[in-house]
Structure 1
């Protein structure tokens, strides 16, 4: 099908596609059009990575918006992504649609906002959690939705995030009868079942624009799925290094998937010895620049190790990196500066990082629930395979697993190469998932009776898949009892009503169990809880991913628990309640990290002390701030006396500062380090900063003229110019600049 044959789109779209080099649609794209995707029909597209799913989404959204323009009903298109990083990436990609008179909005954070401003856009990109929160907070513009695209829809199978996407799709389909739903994935083992649930047409294709070979490396050869073999000798190298070297010789790049952060970092360090040998002068200079930017993000050992590897053309990628780290690595890899990235499976989740070859080095990973190493699912491995081959850049793609014996060679072919992805199964009927969604369904008025609630739940994927008669009703009843017991719901006969507290909990987007834990802790904690007590309180909620207790931690944190027992809120378990006591100590370790951050301990010291990366620190800080905001709102709702203490603890952890710096960090462009320098120079508040002598401010900010001007402008100084001003040496901090650059590279500095 030629693009000139497309109809129902805004004027100029076919010509634009032609200008991008697209004369004909790929076969799966043509199938989607023939199935009615541009006519408002629901569609499930199970199509390999790089086979044109995004264009299918664009055609659906553009045609939907054009229909609304033509018939005068308007309508907004919503593109749902699983990850925040993908939201920004897709919004940038969709910016090209603005030439057709469309506006693009993106929203991922602030779960307490109704996001009304988003309704002014024709296309909105958001995570499923953000969409769920918009529904809870009554975003009226969502009634005008005409088309929803659910990217990576196979993630309804994910226990932590899947239920939110599932319930969100079910609610919007019920609220908006004519809503078009387009669901996309590269790996759905039961695509027909998903299509039936969504009343959708199905495009299930294995077509790819470039050839993808999959196989296993064993001995000195690659063994492929088509039965062919090709020599690839290992020699004195490891299998991974030999394959990377072979890929480099053909001017290709490689993604290596491993099973842990530590292995990702170790692999990058080793593989840098392979990539570093082939760099020319220009490449080395460009990589040094990327490495410098990486070091500026954070001063932790993780950041330094990443920069060292990048200087030689290699990198690692995992959730412990700061967001800026990951973006720099992804961009440099796409630009072919970095030639090999060793990553945990998170990189396979839709991030646009294709490569010539994919190596799945580790096909097993540790599973705490199983008590040992467990094989990856075929779905996960196929997601990794899909990263191989870049259309327009690579003549082919190869994805290989590594075997160390003939028996393992055969096992890997049977388990992954010849196997289809597992069927996607709903994870909704578990109490943790249902708690939040049942409360939200009642609080928003979507269901006001038990009967209506159960009728709604019958429209979910779980109900369409389950063979356990009555299970959903049983779990729902248990959840309703929990919500009523904790004062979030009231029941009268068949009727269900959310209490004022229940409404607030739903709008705050916290797990009701987290809210119950916070409420009980605040009510027991008196008017003046300490910061540590509050950090420990939010750290033991289900919404906080606690730090793992390592060898020796039990003794350390047991001692701290007894030393600071009076500060910890709520009822403490005894050491004889082993599981509960271990959870209590894990929360205490997490709280101590937050306390260290709020007492201005350097980021590198925190990373070393708790064996975490900068991304972990930022994740804990962001989650604590969000939960403390919820605690502050709940304290005010319940008229608990500790509201002021909660607010102070929240601001301290947000900025990473001691109490005396709270006023200074309210100034734009003044973070934890700049505030400390100003304070140590005798400037202790915003009024003092507004009226401080400019030489003192410049000296405190280490002679950085532009920084000083920006800070003074932010605080309202009548004349922020630093022209002809010399810094007061007595006000200058003692620590030297690192490599001549302003040592502001800690999280929260700016």
Structure 2
């Protein structure tokens, strides 16, 4: 059984399998929740193997801390679980070996040789980190630029890419999303017309598929660049757009992608040449691990005999490059607290640090601390602490979440989803919100009187928004967090009603990628809040309400289409077609004849129909198997268990 634990998906604890073993494919946060649930249910010893891909993420801020917590718990609670960590960019292997009590298996084999270069002005230098002078002259850049072209492209990106495309593929990593789009559009201006004739029909198919995924709309930049075989790739695209662009690039229909650093991690899109537009990610200087991830995309096994990477530098950057490797080594040697406490805790001992953190947890009412007669302390997790733990809620938000939910109960608005949506709008996305006040006011006036009253109750009255929309000054000291949160809640509220991501993104003047990211984050947070409320009796009304809202946010379609959306390969437009044709439930699809389905549904090929029916059957069997497992477990409960306990277990 292969189960997905991401967003709102996954059961805690997982279903017990008597005759099968399960593989859980999980995000970092969900893996942590999964381990927590197995520990709490006494089933951690059932966990035979933990595989951590991209282990270097241990150094990635809060997510790295979650990985470390997860692995530390597994190591402490289960001596039988094997841990395998994999990475191509680790710099502190000895420390990790000590922490994980692990053996180290290293191989420097690379199927395609990688040659690394930097470009400074109009000269290319080869990088050889083994030499004392690591930059060695390679060649001058041979490309004739007109004055207007030089002004448009001072970094000679066009020269670098046209050396390889369209015969070979190329990735251009850019520091920002906007820069990706600008670079792709700029290159197109100077490409020859022969680029338009290459695989012209397949590019037309791609554009139509992009239009279908966007409900009839295509991004203007992609509409312009795709005919030349170019595209951009960043989080501003929807997941459907990203998938189409990735498939087109992999098949050679697209020969160049201008992308952000996120493409380097977890997506297998290699290229003959990788160009790093600058040594920055946004405004932060490039880390060694990020650089290695990016240049590691160069070289396509089975296609190229060599891969090339070129980092474009300005004069001001060269000094930072020559000293950054040692700085990164120092940084990577400071990732594991226990192993490295001597290096890290120079001023503060580990004991004092732990004591400080215990005090912090106590201040947040997540634990209670009781002094013992022998001088020790007893720590007890509070109900709020258990709810925080069960819901995998960030500690910094647990108190404010409890306060918001408790206050919400005083006047919970039930004739609309707005209040619930506001309560599950993620706190960590508030900082990214910069309301357009005129838009805010316009959308606010469309709310019903009760919805406006609810908004005022959480600290966002109409008078405040009206003054901001009119450009008037407002009194200082106004808490802007509820205001920004309400703005994001209105975006989500519009999505639930409209279900058209493109039109909502246009309505609020936001990128469709941001809107989709907001939707997916809200879906995941809604699932966390649901688990949080299940541990606090006083918040019982939210249990049923958030169960339904989680489903709505997960699929963002009309309620009747949700069961169909669970089937692999079924997006909203396809779900509407199936529903209108009479295939309204999972059972209907599972029992369908693929040939009849293909002939009934417009533009549904036989192969796709077979996949849809097979997926529906698999889902139906999984649901039946899960129910059977629960029945078997109930029937095998100890006979001496009190009947009341049996009844409670059943309920």
Residues 95-150 of structure 1 show CA distances to partners (whole Å, capped at 9, x for unaligned) of xxxxxxxx766544535522245893376543332321111112766414454432
3-state secondary structure, aligned to 1:711: coil
Residue aligning to 1:521: 404
What CA distance in whole angstroms lies between the structure 2 residues aligned with 1:712 and 1:126? 28
Of residues 509, 525, 537 in structure 2, which corresponds to 1:638?
537
Residue aligning to 1:193: 95
Residue aligning to 1:599: 497
Of residues 479, 483, 487 in structure 2, which corresponds to 1:581?
479
What CA distance in whole angstroms lies between the structure 2 residues aligned with 1:536 and 1:351? 33
1:508 aligns with 2:391: yes
1:424 aligns with 2:332: yes
Displacement, 1:215? 1.8
Residue aligning to 1:444: none
1:321 aligns with 2:242: no
3-state secondary structure, aligned to 2:62: coil
Displacement, 1:343? 0.8
Going from structure 1 to structure 2, the CA distance change for 1:122 and 1:134 (only over 3 Å counts) comes to closer
Displacement, 1:257? 0.8
Going from structure 1 to structure 2, the CA distance change for 1:182 and 1:545 (only over 3 Å counts) comes to farther
Residues 61-119 of structure 1 show CA distances to partners (whole Å, capped at 9, x for unaligned) of xxxxxxxxxxxxxxxxxxxxxxxxxxxxxxxxxxxxxxxxxx76654453552224589
3-state secondary structure, aligned to 1:394: coil
Going from structure 1 to structure 2, the CA distance change for 1:289 and 1:361 (only over 3 Å counts) comes to same
Number of residues of Structure 1 aligned to a counterpart in Structure 2: 554
Going from structure 1 to structure 2, the CA distance change for 1:512 and 1:204 (only over 3 Å counts) comes to same
1:398 aligns with 2:308: yes
Going from structure 1 to structure 2, the CA distance change for 1:364 and 1:376 (only over 3 Å counts) comes to same
Going from structure 1 to structure 2, the CA distance change for 1:546 and 1:211 (only over 3 Å counts) comes to same
Of residues 179, 200, 215 in structure 2, which corresponds to 1:284?
200
Residue aligning to 2:36: 136
Of residues 311, 319, 323 in structure 2, which corresponds to 1:411?
319
Residue aligning to 2:262: 346
Residue aligning to 1:711: 584
Going from structure 1 to structure 2, the CA distance change for 1:302 and 1:527 (only over 3 Å counts) comes to same
Q: Any conservation in 1 of the 2:91–2:329 contact (CA below 8 Å)?
A: yes
Residue aligning to 1:160: 62
Going from structure 1 to structure 2, the CA distance change for 1:504 and 1:208 (only over 3 Å counts) comes to same
Going from structure 1 to structure 2, the CA distance change for 1:631 and 1:263 (only over 3 Å counts) comes to same
Going from structure 1 to structure 2, the CA distance change for 1:194 and 1:553 (only over 3 Å counts) comes to farther
| Worse-superposed segment, 324-333 or 313-322 | 324-333
What CA distance in whole angstroms lies between the structure 2 residues aligned with 1:115 and 1:106? 11
3-state secondary structure, aligned to 1:196: helix
What CA distance in whole angstroms lies between the structure 1 residues aligned with 2:4 and 2:533? 31
1:240 aligns with 2:140: no
Q: Any conservation in 2 of the 1:217–1:402 contact (CA below 8 Å)?
A: yes
Of residues 620, 629, 643 in structure 1, which corresponds to 2:518?
620
Residues 274-311 of structure 1 show CA distances to partners (whole Å, capped at 9, x for unaligned) of 66744485722222223322332224867564355334
Going from structure 1 to structure 2, the CA distance change for 1:319 and 1:277 (only over 3 Å counts) comes to same
Going from structure 1 to structure 2, the CA distance change for 1:609 and 1:464 (only over 3 Å counts) comes to farther
Residues 245-296 of structure 1 show CA distances to partners (whole Å, capped at 9, x for unaligned) of 01126x2211111111111122222334566744485722222223322332
Gaps of 5+ in 2: 129-135, 372-376, 465-473, 604-651
3-state secondary structure, aligned to 1:217: strand
3-state secondary structure, aligned to 2:203: helix
Residues 188-243 of structure 1 show CA distances to partners (whole Å, capped at 9, x for unaligned) of 23333323333334456655333322222234332212513223334335311211
Going from structure 1 to structure 2, the CA distance change for 1:417 and 1:270 (only over 3 Å counts) comes to farther
Residues 627-647 of structure 1 show CA distances to partners (whole Å, capped at 9, x for unaligned) of 334445555633347536656
Q: Any conservation in 2 of the 1:147–1:179 contact (CA below 8 Å)?
A: yes
Displacement, 1:162? 0.2
Residue aligning to 2:369: 491
Residue aligning to 1:254: 170
Displacement, 1:342? 0.8
Root-mean-square deviation (Å): 4.5
What CA distance in whole angstroms lies between the structure 1 residues aligned with 2:267 and 2:207? 21
Aligned runs of 1:557-576 on 2, under 5 Å?
564=452, 566-567=454-455
| Worse-superposed segment, 413-422 or 515-524 | 413-422
1:177 aligns with 2:85: no
What CA distance in whole angstroms lies between the structure 1 residues aligned with 2:320 and 2:354? 41
What CA distance in whole angstroms lies between the structure 2 residues aligned with 1:177 and 1:464? 27
Residue aligning to 1:229: 138
Residue aligning to 2:629: none
Displacement, 1:419? 8.3
Aligned runs of 1:64-83 on 2, under 5 Å?
none
3-state secondary structure, aligned to 1:138: helix
Aligned runs of 1:438-457 on 2, under 5 Å?
none
Q: Any conservation in 2 of the 1:287–1:313 contact (CA below 8 Å)?
A: yes
What CA distance in whole angstroms lies between the structure 1 residues aligned with 2:587 and 2:241? 28
Going from structure 1 to structure 2, the CA distance change for 1:492 and 1:420 (only over 3 Å counts) comes to closer
Gaps of 5+ in 1: 1-102, 367-372, 429-457, 678-699, 728-736, 738-750
What CA distance in whole angstroms lies between the structure 2 residues aligned with 1:609 and 1:130? 33
Q: Any conservation in 1 of the 2:277–2:312 contact (CA below 8 Å)?
A: yes
Residues 11-64 of structure 1 show CA distances to partners (whole Å, capped at 9, x for unaligned) of xxxxxxxxxxxxxxxxxxxxxxxxxxxxxxxxxxxxxxxxxxxxxxxxxxxxxx
Aligned runs of 1:246-395 on 2, under 5 Å?
246-248=163-165, 251-273=167-189, 277-279=193-195, 283-299=199-215, 303=219, 305-306=221-222, 308-366=224-282, 373-395=283-305
Going from structure 1 to structure 2, the CA distance change for 1:115 and 1:223 (only over 3 Å counts) comes to same
What CA distance in whole angstroms lies between the structure 2 residues aligned with 1:361 and 1:278? 26
Of residues 416, 422, 425 in structure 2, which corresponds to 1:536?
422
What CA distance in whole angstroms lies between the structure 2 residues aligned with 1:462 and 1:615? 40
What CA distance in whole angstroms lies between the structure 2 residues aligned with 1:181 and 1:212? 30
What CA distance in whole angstroms lies between the structure 2 residues aligned with 1:504 and 1:180? 29
The TM-score with structure 1 as length reference comes to 0.63
